[in-house]
């Protein structure tokens, strides 16, 4: 506690000093001044600083390690020893794919004595489909991905999975990060050669549509500003590590973002449509915008929406036609004339003609009524479509809103970008365009736009996920209220490497994973802990709990139940409202055996495992999930039905794999499946003793197979071990 207090005091003094330096002195500061704000470290051009030669040239494998070693040695410390090869392999598998290595993969690696054995494994993992599923989930946290709207009316996002799978594919294909950003901000406006390419790019732009929105009783103009605000805040945090939403009501109190800059970006977003009026739950509602895919997508989507838009009137027309038919059958002239007068479209033309024989009139009305009933009972299939934005018909600049209130209009501001991150002339947005394409290019423009900051932010995110803590620990806040980088030269080196590799995320991931820094053990050192208790110098590896997706996937893999097949929608069985007021008879399911990245993410109704083990908040950008270890997590592992079912499946698999095996060999196999290692003598004896005891207990229960029950308890105990749930 004392060290944390001292660090907080020092950090506060640093912030105060930085603010004073930026302002030029007491009483002269304007924190929102974009010109003075350029002096902040995060807004500087990338510095190409090569590390000085290491005092210990035998330890570093490359520049990353030289930077890290210099910091460690400057504090009079030494780096931790290398992690055992088995530990390193498990770490690499989980960090790159979110899955544990199999027994066969572990044995093959331990037997491979070639100097590039680990490098070969890393390349194999980077090329596997599971890499995109693991690292796609990191991006989905930033994109606040969900399968429902959340907030007041939690309507289902039935097509959100298309964006999720696009992210996974793009990362597996190593789409350059600048292109990755472009397609998500403006993919629907980008040129294309083929219809599949057009649809992929448009699906990518679902990034702008997928956020939560207030739907109930919302003024259209107010909603437009609220949606734009959410998009600006998401773009700011995701790509720039900046909180921009604070400038909606006034000049930013901490960052060099005046209110005019906020509304310059707001004009781009309000010139973009992400909502449309569609028929939903018996009425016309303003919902997320959906667009048909494929060559006939527009026509199929229009036909589908037309049917549901006209369904209420068609139903009424069919009912009136039935009434008219009944009146004809009963020879009720008065009733028939009443329908003819008020609902003439419910009658067949021959039925209206009194000159025709009654039988002819009756048959024509029967046929006409049957046609209406058939049309009503056969709605068109839901077409292939996706959540896709579009430019407004007449894009326009936005006016500053006084105190951020949508109906208090002030001075109009030309559309543009943040001046603190811009060089040269102001942005020029073509007439008739929203400006999203220009915004996307500006975000990754290293020379004249925000590219240097975007590269720092992305490089820091990669470091955070691989090493366990960002060089800038506040991964979503690179502004004045965020923390300064622990290794600024290393951060710029990584950012430049990202840019120089044509923005290849895989290339930078590979570079970090092959460093000696990544390969250090997490072993404790008393003196190093005394001097650097938070491990800011990275003198050892950070020990971390598996995130909920990796934990669940590893459990299913150990039981032989994990299905690696790609999944599309996992919410197809839900109604239009994912959750509603009152009893929800159909809730989201989690009993799929797919990878956890494909499980439903229903805002306000996350899977219990996600809630217990620190899943990201799908309402907002989450670059760093909480990392907690609590008693409730232990209780969850003991009592959750999915965990118990998985333990039983593992026990049955264990017993069936070799019916004649000894208990000792079964315990060894259990450890091999769960940890890919052999138990110690003490561990083996403890498990054998427990199995024997539970067989006796279960034997007293006539309805329970004592052997299966005992081994289920043993498997459950193995899944509850900290060595299974944590990465060393």
What pLDDT digit, counting tens, does each position of 671-726 carry? Answer: 999 999 999 999 999 999 999 998 888 766 656 689 999 999 999 999 999 999 99
Taking alpha carbons only, the member of 31, 34, 35 closest to residue 15 is: 31
Give 283's pLDDT tier (boundaries 50, 70, 90).
Answer: confident
Pair (330, 419) in one structural domain: no
What distance in Å separates the CA atoms of residue 416 and residue 79, rounded to the nearest whole number?
Answer: 47
pLDDT at 465: 98
Pair (519, 654) in one structural domain: no
Pair (392, 528) in one structural domain: no
Name the helix (H) or strand (E) containing 391.
Answer: strand 390-391
Average pLDDT for residues 652-656, to the nearest whole number? 95
Average pLDDT for residues 57-76, to the nearest whole number? 94
Q: How many domains does the chain have?
A: 4
- Does the pLDDT at position 488 exceed 80? yes
pLDDT at 408: 92
Pair (373, 396) in one structural domain: no
Final residue of a structural domain among 502, 519, 542: 542
- Does the pLDDT at position 403 exceed 60? yes
pLDDT at 385: 97
Taking alpha carbons only, the member of 530, 538, 723, 561 closest to residue 648 is: 561
pLDDT at 83: 97
- Asked whether residue 132 is assigned to any structural domain, the reply reads no
Average pLDDT for residues 271-279, to the nearest whole number? 94
- Residue of higher predicted confidence among 377 and 391: 391
Write out the E strands in 2-87. Answer: none
Pair (400, 322) in one structural domain: no
Q: Which residues on neighbouring strands pair with residue 653, listed in sequence order?
A: none
pLDDT tens-digit series, residues 613-628: 999 999 999 999 999 9
Q: Report the predicted TM-score, pTM, of the whole model to 2 decimal places.
A: 0.92
- Asked whether residue 182 is assigned to any structural domain, the reply reads yes
Pair (367, 415) in one structural domain: no
pLDDT tens-digit series, residues 447-474: 999 999 999 999 999 999 999 999 999 9
pLDDT at 703: 62
pLDDT tens-digit series, residues 581-610: 777 788 999 999 999 999 999 999 999 999
Pair (265, 408) in one structural domain: yes
Pair (519, 407) in one structural domain: no
- Does the pLDDT at position 24 exceed 50? no
- Asked whether residue 1 is assigned to any structural domain, the reply reads no
Sequence-distant (6+) residues with CB within 8 A of 295 are: 195
- Asked whether residue 207 is assigned to any structural domain, the reply reads yes
Final residue of a structural domain among 379, 408, 426: 379
pLDDT at 9: 39
- Asked whether residue 234 is assigned to any structural domain, the reply reads yes
Pair (677, 708) in one structural domain: yes
Pair (405, 273) in one structural domain: yes
- Asked whether residue 63 is assigned to any structural domain, the reply reads yes
Pair (363, 411) in one structural domain: no
β-strand pairing of 726-727 with 385-387: unpaired
What distance in Å separates the CA atoms of residue 470 and residue 448, rounded to the nearest whole number?
Answer: 26
- Asked whether residue 221 is assigned to any structural domain, the reply reads yes
Q: Which residues on neighbouring strands pair with residue 277, listed in sequence order?
A: 286
Rounded mean pLDDT of the chain?
92
Final residue of a structural domain among 542, 566, 598: 542
Lowest mean pLDDT among 208-212, 263-267, 276-280, 641-645: 276-280
Pair (281, 414) in one structural domain: yes
pLDDT at 479: 96
pLDDT at 702: 59
Give 503's pLDDT tier (boundaries 50, 70, 90).
Answer: very high
- Does the pLDDT at position 526 exceed 90? yes
Give 28's pLDDT tier (boundaries 50, 70, 90).
Answer: low
Cα-based distances in Å from 98 to 94, 624, 636: 4, 16, 21
- Residue of higher predicted confidence among 623 and 218: 623
- Asked whether residue 557 is assigned to any structural domain, the reply reads no
pLDDT at 580: 82
Average pLDDT for residues 108-121, to the nearest whole number? 97
Give 217's pLDDT tier (boundaries 50, 70, 90).
Answer: confident
pLDDT at 696: 85
- Does the pLDDT at position 442 exceed 50? yes
Average pLDDT for residues 31-60, to the nearest whole number? 90
What distance in Å separates the CA atoms of residue 119 and residue 519, rounded to the nearest whole number?
Answer: 12
- Does the pLDDT at position 26 exceed 50? no
Average pLDDT for residues 505-509, to the nearest whole number? 98
Sequence-distant (6+) residues with CB within 8 A of 364 are: 348, 349, 350, 351
* Domain span including residue 471: 31-79+458-542
CB 518 within 8 A of CB 466: yes
């Amino acid at each position: 506690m004392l060290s944390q207090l001292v660090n907080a005091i020092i950090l506060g003094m640093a912030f105060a000093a930085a603010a004073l330096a930026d302002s030029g002195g007491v009483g002269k500061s304007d924190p929102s001044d974009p010109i003075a704000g350029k002096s902040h470290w995060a807004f500087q051009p990338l510095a190409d600083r090569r590390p000085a030669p290491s005092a210990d040239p035998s330890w570093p494998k490359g520049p990353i390690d030289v930077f890290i070693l210099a910091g460690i040695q400057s504090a009079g410390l030494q780096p931790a020893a290398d992690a055992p090869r088995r530990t390193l392999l498990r770490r690499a598998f989980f960090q790159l794919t979110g899955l544990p290595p199999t027994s066969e993969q572990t044995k093959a690696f331990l037997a491979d004595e070639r100097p590039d054995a680990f490098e070969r494994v890393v390349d194999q993992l980077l090329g596997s489909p599971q890499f995109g599923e693991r690292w796609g989930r990191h991006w989905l946290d930033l994109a606040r991905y969900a399968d429902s709207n959340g907030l007041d009316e939690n309507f289902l996002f039935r097509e959100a999975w298309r964006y999720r799978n696009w992210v996974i594919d793009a990362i597996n294909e190593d789409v350059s990060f600048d292109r990755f950003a472009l397609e998500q901000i403006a993919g629907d406006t980008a040129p294309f050669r083929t219809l599949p390419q057009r649809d992929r790019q448009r699906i990518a732009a679902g990034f702008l549509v997928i956020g939560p929105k207030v739907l109930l009783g919302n003024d259209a103009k107010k909603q437009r500003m609220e949606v734009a605000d959410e998009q600006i805040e998401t773009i700011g945090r995701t790509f720039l590590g900046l909180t921009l939403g604070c400038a909606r009501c006034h000049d930013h109190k901490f960052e060099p973002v005046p209110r005019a800059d906020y509304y310059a970006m707001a004009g781009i977003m309000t010139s973009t449509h992400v909502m449309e009026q569609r028929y939903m739950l018996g009425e016309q509602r303003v919902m997320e915008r959906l667009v048909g895919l494929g060559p006939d997508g527009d026509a199929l989507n229009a036909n589908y929406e037309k049917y549901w838009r006209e369904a209420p009137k068609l139903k009424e027309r069919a009912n009136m036609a039935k009434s008219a038919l009944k009146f004809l059958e009963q020879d009720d002239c008065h009733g028939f004339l009443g329908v003819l007068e008020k609902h003439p479209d419910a009658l067949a033309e021959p039925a209206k003609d009194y000159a025709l024989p009654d039988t002819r009139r009756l048959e024509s009305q029967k046929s006409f009524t049957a046609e209406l009933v058939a049309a009503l009972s056969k709605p068109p299939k839901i077409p292939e479509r996706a959540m896709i934005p579009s430019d407004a018909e007449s894009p326009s600049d936005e006016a500053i809103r006084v105190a951020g209130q949508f109906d208090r209009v002030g001075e109009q501001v030309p559309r543009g970008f943040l001046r603190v991150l811009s060089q040269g002339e102001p942005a020029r947005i073509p007439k008739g365009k929203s400006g999203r394409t220009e915004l996307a290019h500006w975000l990754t423009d290293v020379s004249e736009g925000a590219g240097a900051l975007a590269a720092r932010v992305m490089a820091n995110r990669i470091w955070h996920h691989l090493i366990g803590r960002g060089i800038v620990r506040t991964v979503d806040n690179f502004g004045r209220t965020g923390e300064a980088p622990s290794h600024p030269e290393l951060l710029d080196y990584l950012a430049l490497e990202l840019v120089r590799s044509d923005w290849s995320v895989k290339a930078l991931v590979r570079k970090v994973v092959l460093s000696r820094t990544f390969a250090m053990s997490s072993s404790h050192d008393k003196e190093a802990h005394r001097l650097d208790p938070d491990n800011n110098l990275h003198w050892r590896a950070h020990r971390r709990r598996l995130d909920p997706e990796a934990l669940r996937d590893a459990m299913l893999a150990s039981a032989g139940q994990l299905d690696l097949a790609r999944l599309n929608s996992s919410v197809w069985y839900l109604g239009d409202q994912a959750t509603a007021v009152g009893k929800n008879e159909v809730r989201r399911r989690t009993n799929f055996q797919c990878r956890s990245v494909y499980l439903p993410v229903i805002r306000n109704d996350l899977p219990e495992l996600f809630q217990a083990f620190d899943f990201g908040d799908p309402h907002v950008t989450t670059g760093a999930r909480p990392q907690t270890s609590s008693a409730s997590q232990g209780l969850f592992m003991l009592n959750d039905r999915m965990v118990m079912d998985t333990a039983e499946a593992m026990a049955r698999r264990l017993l069936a794999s070799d019916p004649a095996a000894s208990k000792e060999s079964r315990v060894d196999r259990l450890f091999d499946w769960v940890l890919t290692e052999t138990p110690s003598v003490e561990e083996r004896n403890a498990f054998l003793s427990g199995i024997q005891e539970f067989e006796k207990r279960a034997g007293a229960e006539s309805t329970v197979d004592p052997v299966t029950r005992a081994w289920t308890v043993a498997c459950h105990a193995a899944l509850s071990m900290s060595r299974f749930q944590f990465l060393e």
